[in-house]
């Protein structure tokens, strides 16, 4: 038991540093959690980011993990030190808990994976 705890504590810093972050796109949050979402509501999950690159940043693609989730990316390049946003919507006619991922691929740097979580309430009778 002591050995397992020791190995976990020893490997923890390596696991934290292995997580990729984009050095060009800095998101205010990479996960948004919403509980008690009303059935058939039109709520958006909005991820804001800042361009830290020395030149304009273009979002090449935004890929969702399934068809129940859609995402909109900025149509034009984001200038240096300016903010942009990715708007994500989830089909709230699906009752219950959900976890969905959105992969954002910029024109420079590594892709960034965003996550939405929530719970859609049953339809009121």
Which CATH architecture best describes the domain 22-120? Sandwich (2.60)
pLDDT > 80? residue 34: yes
> For residue 108, is pLDDT > 50?
yes
* Confidence grade of residue 17 (pLDDT, cut at 50, 70, 90): very low
User: How many Cβ atoms are within 10 Å of 86's Cβ, its own excluded?
Assistant: 21
Q: Is the pLDDT of residue 5 over 50?
A: no
> What is the per-residue pLDDT for 24?
86
The pLDDT of residue 1 is 53
Which residues touch 100 (CB under 8 Å, ≥6 apart)?
64, 65, 66, 68, 69, 88, 90, 115, 116, 117
pLDDT digits (tens, 9 = 90+) for 59-99: 999 999 999 999 999 999 999 999 999 999 999 999 999 99
- Round the average pLDDT of the chain to a whole number and report it: 87
Domain regions of the chain by residue span: 22-120
């Amino acid at each position: 038991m002591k050995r397992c705890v020791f190995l976990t504590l020893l490997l923890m810093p390596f696991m934290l540093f292995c997580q990729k972050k984009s050095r060009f796109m800095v998101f205010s949050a990479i996960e948004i959690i919403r509980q008690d979402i009303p059935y058939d509501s039109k709520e958006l999950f909005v991820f804001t980011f800042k361009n830290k690159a020395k030149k304009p940043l273009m979002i090449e693609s935004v890929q969702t993990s399934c068809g129940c989730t859609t995402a909109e990316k900025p149509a034009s390049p984001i200038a240096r030190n300016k903010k942009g946003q990715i708007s994500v919507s989830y089909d709230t006619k699906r009752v219950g808990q959900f976890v969905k991922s959105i992969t954002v691929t910029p024109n420079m740097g590594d892709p960034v994976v965003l996550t939405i979580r929530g719970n859609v309430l049953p339809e009121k009778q």
